[in-house]
Structure 1
Amino acid sequence: MSKLEGSRGKSSSGILPLSASFNLTGHRLPCAHGWINFADKRGKCFSRLASRASVAGEVLLVNFKYLLNEEVEAFVLAPGKGVVCEGSEHKCRSLRPSRTLDLGGRVVVPGLRDAHTHLLPTALSYRLLDLRRVSSVEELKGAVRTAALEMGPGSWVVGRGWDQDKMVEKRYPTRHDLDEAAPENPVLLVRVCGHAAVANTKALEKLGLLFQEPEELQGMVVREDGKPTGLLLEDAVPWALARVPKPGRAALKELLRKVVAEYLRYGVTVVHSMSVDIEELSLIRGLELDGELKLRYEAYVKPELLGNVPEELRHLVRGVKAFADGSFGARTAALREQYSDHPSSGTLLMTAEEIAELCRAAGSHGLELAVHAIGDKAVEEVLRAMTISRGKIRVEHASLTPPDLLELFSQLRPTAAVQPHFILSDTWIVDRLGARTRWVYAFKSLARTGSTLMGSSDSPVEPLNPWLGMYAAVHRGEPEGLPIAEFTSSEKLSLREALSMYVERASRPEDVVVLNITREPLSREDFARVRAERVFLKGVELQPL
């Protein structure tokens, strides 16, 4: 038997069983740029896959359901190229591919893309105290107390995921709450959105924030009568996190491997990582060199790195990420009118002129600009910046888009990276926005403008599972009885529309994923159970997932 034939052999028809495995001894993996390891001009990086990939020339896939085009009966995949033929089985067989896989009626999709994630923070979140299900300040204190006892005095307790609007007290926790729970440990707990955090007294002491904050954090360390409440806002959050001791490089690489593996289990083969620093780029480069990246990675770096990325890391970088405002949850998203439940309108972090200047600077380095804009005021500034700079700017989130802004979207046709799972997480959104809720997460309306929508998770803010995001886009909280469903039922997407946001192209995709289902998912439980059984990255199968 040839080393490239299935270990269980071929049938007389030439069809291999779905579970067939392949021996790669003595073979190398071809790619479009030579062998094994390469990066194209746009920074799409591929790792060495030879130890876990099977190669046998062109592969014919038959007997499947292609969700994005029911007329597609078959694919031919070529190593280093992806899909080279699609359509009828007869047409694809005419290419005489070297082997055939009968997929048994399974659903097939292109490789999925998470267009807005935070890879290293997601990896670090695996080690954090998970506070997403905390329903009271007292429960939060109990979780901190337990963690402090397990870790011992003096160790940092770092957590993420709390939401004051989902706690019975309906208030922010304070440093005094955390002091009661862990007086001998520095404690830093980040709100689910990442735009606010609370620290206890010992943490504020170690961070040097107890009596005075640096000039760049003025107004972001909340004080009452000159004393800190423990609440940190916006830039103060990453500033504080950067000063908390992190695991060593080996441990960080292992955590990143787990993130990559989780993405592949859901069929995600492309990630856009946002607000990236040199540490993340260096770790990703290490995985790439070790042959352990196994998906395509594109970074949007922090503005201070513009022009300062070391040459050996530049191929990983696609763009620059900036912030025009904060979040609805922390009431720092910039609105044109005040919040319905608070006498403030958020915080605008960049004007249109400043955004346009950064857009031109990024363009001079061959990079694109992506700008976080959630509130309608921030979205308006980003769109105005496009007219000033006459350049393309990615709008990250584009959360509140009333009719006049939709008209601007129609004129400018920007790309927008959206996060459907916010529909389910922001259970309080009607309280925040009132009647304006009609135009929040308005994906159907945005799509009608001709703008390009890219689905994403914003992990670790939301689950990285794209199928849960698609579920949210299709059902919009109606099964959960969320108030947003009454305001935005006309914004529901079909599954095909939702899936299309998560793929780069439906026709002749580079990557192909075989799922563990034979029909379209309907309920939340159906969507949650979707997994990838086989992944073909540029025509080469990854084994095992």
Structure 2
Amino acid sequence: MIKPHLFSAISLLFISTQLMAQTTLVKNVKGYTFIDNSLTKFSAISFTDDTIDKIYSPEEVLPNSNDLNVIDGQGQTMLPGLIDAHGHVIGYGHSLLRVDLADTSSERDAVNRTISYNKDIPTMSWVLGRGWNQEQWSNNTYPTAKSLDEVFPNKPVWLRRVDGHAGWANTKAMALAGITAATKSPAGGEIIKDQSGQPTGVFIDNAMALITDSVTQPSPIEDKIALKRALQSLASLGLTSVHDAGIEQKDIALYKTLASEGNMIIRINGMLYLPSTNWQQQLQQGPYRTLDDMYTFNSVKIQADGALGSRGASLINDYSDHSGHKGLLLHDKKSLQHYIEFAMNAGFQVNTHAIGDNANKLILDVYQLAIKQSDSKALRHRIEHAQVLRLEDIPRFSSLNVIASMQATHATSDKNMAVSRLGEKRILGAYAWRKLLESNAIIAAGSDFPVESPNPFFGLHASITRQDHKSLPVGGWYADQKMTRAEALKSFTLDAAYAGHQEKLIGSLEPGKKADFILLNDDLFNMPENQIWRSQVSETWVAGKRVFSAKDVSAVK
């Protein structure tokens, strides 16, 4: 029998042992990281709790201690945890709960997939989905409400286009929103109408709000379920950090709740959407981060124009395939200046969506004046997408210390229509990764999920090859703009971390940084480049903890 005082002593000893730092050594790996911006190989790594102690070259003798937790990497490749600098996390979570229309082959195919979804979740008051792209359909024309009405006469349906800049509604949804032939298109948006003036069911950019304002909003519980599902899915793809490009106050509160519960399995850097409810009051409270750096809020997201696919991107001259149309600015210049200046003066990094050359020039012009006025060059303001640029605007990124936050898969997705939209001259400043890098600009890579797949290996493959998954076009689309393998990895790691002011915390595997890394069987630097997109992660580690294991998933199956 243990005496009471001995039991207390043993308990204290047990507790103190539990609180002692645990050091882990992962050996026998083909490791790649960046040291002083140069690609460096290593064979083992040690970390204590969430912080890296040392990386070991193949020539170094590894420590040998009974106190070490030793893991054999079994020759797998280790990379720094991948960072997506532009995704929509909660939206992605909800997309996992909605009908997926990506890669549909026709309007009828999209309708059939929506029917199947409704059979699986018949209790939903609205049928919601995303991912259709008429440019991938044989007729290349927008869908209509009529095809949905045939199967959904009494249930509202709202399906967003792949880029989120257009939506497709049935007649029931339009009736609930009060849309008639007399309804006028709002500023910065368009209601597509037929020859008789009747709405066809397609709404572009700001006009989408006419429908979305009528959609029943998710409850806080549904938001939390969607967010947790999204984080788990992203971790399984090798993402250890994501910049959430456009959140609201309620989302900030949700992230804080998840962090307080210890349920933030990957890091999130949130951008407050401007304008949104009480945005000024939120910014006046200043930047925020949790003590464990799992959630950070130090930036804002503003949207200047629409997307190229829906011809909503704001161009200086007419679209090459639509005479008399230059796209749409979603805010007037005075409003943009107000949002940008307010955020900069409040100490926040400003990240503005700009796709067309007119939108990019406008934002660079406004940034130039606002950065000088607020003395905020060190905040590393960003342009999200930076997709179509005048050649003379490319050097301005480096001179203004503005980061180009770009998504490589947009180029391989858009290659079939971009030249038609822009013509042979403007395309030379579009998706211009090499031109930006040669001008000393920083490119932070992302995917813009759920517009594109969140799989970072799709982005790495597109950056390196400028090809789709069928290895087309041969040699790559405007192949002179390719990145090297090292540049592509850096854009998804160290440069993405830099874009979030976190390069001293994450982005590379170095002593003092957080132990965020992934393991995979394929060697990014030696495998055939046309196979990179097929790479699959076997383990994801964040803050020294394994948050995903492919073996565990296989065991469940």
Alignment TM class, shorter chain as reference: 0.7 to 0.9
SS at match of 1:322: strand
Match of 1:59 in 2: 24
The structure 2 residue matched to 1:538, chosen from 536, 543, 556, is 543
Distance of aligned partners of 1:244 and 1:484 in 2 relative to their CA distance in 1, 3 Å threshold: farther
User: 1:269 and 1:279 mapped to 2: Cα distance?
Assistant: 23
Distance of aligned partners of 1:529 and 1:375 in 2 relative to their CA distance in 1, 3 Å threshold: same
The structure 2 residue matched to 1:406, chosen from 378, 386, 394, is 394
Matched, 1:307 2:277: no
Match of 1:465 in 2: 455
Contact 2:81 2:518 in 1 (8 A): no
CA shift for structure 1 position 420:
0.8
Q: How many residues align?
A: 495
The structure 2 residue matched to 1:506, chosen from 496, 505, 508, is 508
The structure 2 residue matched to 1:295, chosen from 266, 275, 279, is 266
Amino acid at match of 1:327: A
Q: Which moved more, 1:87-96 or 1:500-509?
A: 87-96
Matched, 1:265 2:236: yes
Q: Which moved more, 1:424-433 or 1:70-79?
A: 70-79
User: 2:213 and 2:61 mapped to 1: Cα distance?
Assistant: 53
Distance of aligned partners of 1:147 and 1:270 in 2 relative to their CA distance in 1, 3 Å threshold: closer
What are the residue-to-residue correspondences of 1:240-255 with 2, within 5 Å? 240-255=211-226
CA shift for structure 1 position 528:
2.3
CA shift for structure 1 position 333:
0.5
Match of 1:47 in 2: none
Q: Deviations over 1:199-258 (max 9, x none)?
A: 111101112333665996675333455532222111233563353224443343222222
Distance of aligned partners of 1:412 and 1:232 in 2 relative to their CA distance in 1, 3 Å threshold: same
User: 1:543 and 1:186 mapped to 2: Cα distance?
Assistant: 38
The structure 2 residue matched to 1:339, chosen from 319, 342, 346, is 319
Match of 1:129 in 2: 99
Contact 1:319 1:370 in 2 (8 A): yes
Match of 1:194 in 2: 164
Match of 1:14 in 2: none
Distance of aligned partners of 1:210 and 1:221 in 2 relative to their CA distance in 1, 3 Å threshold: same
Matched, 1:361 2:342: yes
Structure 1: gaps spanning 5 or more residues: 1-24, 31-54
User: 2:119 and 2:153 mapped to 1: Cα distance?
Assistant: 11
Distance of aligned partners of 1:531 and 1:71 in 2 relative to their CA distance in 1, 3 Å threshold: closer
CA shift for structure 1 position 543:
6.6
The structure 1 residue matched to 2:431, chosen from 437, 441, 444, is 441
CA shift for structure 1 position 301:
1.1
SS at match of 1:165: helix
Structure 2: gaps spanning 5 or more residues: 1-13, 34-38, 290-295, 498-506, 551-557
Matched, 1:517 2:487: no
CA shift for structure 1 position 382:
1.4
Contact 1:190 1:237 in 2 (8 A): no
CA shift for structure 1 position 396:
0.1
User: 2:522 and 2:124 mapped to 1: Cα distance?
Assistant: 53
Amino acid at match of 2:417: W
Matched, 1:230 2:207: no
Q: Deviations over 1:32-74 (max 9, x none)?
A: xxxxxxxxxxxxxxxxxxxxxxx85233333222233344343
The structure 1 residue matched to 2:359, chosen from 378, 381, 395, is 378
Contact 1:156 1:244 in 2 (8 A): yes
User: 1:28 and 1:198 mapped to 2: Cα distance?
Assistant: 59
Match of 1:34 in 2: none
User: 1:166 and 1:71 mapped to 2: Cα distance?
Assistant: 41
CA shift for structure 1 position 149:
5.8
User: 1:99 and 1:385 mapped to 2: Cα distance?
Assistant: 53
Distance of aligned partners of 1:363 and 1:70 in 2 relative to their CA distance in 1, 3 Å threshold: closer
Matched, 1:88 2:67: no
Match of 1:319 in 2: 299
SS at match of 1:309: helix
Match of 2:254 in 1: 283
Q: Which moved more, 1:196-205 or 1:170-179?
A: 170-179
User: 1:463 and 1:89 mapped to 2: Cα distance?
Assistant: 36
The structure 1 residue matched to 2:483, chosen from 493, 496, 503, is 493
Q: Which moved more, 1:455-464 or 1:151-160?
A: 151-160
Distance of aligned partners of 1:112 and 1:404 in 2 relative to their CA distance in 1, 3 Å threshold: same
Contact 2:305 2:356 in 1 (8 A): yes
Contact 2:460 2:488 in 1 (8 A): yes
Distance of aligned partners of 1:256 and 1:478 in 2 relative to their CA distance in 1, 3 Å threshold: closer
User: 2:474 and 2:206 mapped to 1: Cα distance?
Assistant: 30
SS at match of 2:92: helix
Amino acid at match of 2:486: R
Distance of aligned partners of 1:378 and 1:102 in 2 relative to their CA distance in 1, 3 Å threshold: same
Amino acid at match of 2:312: T
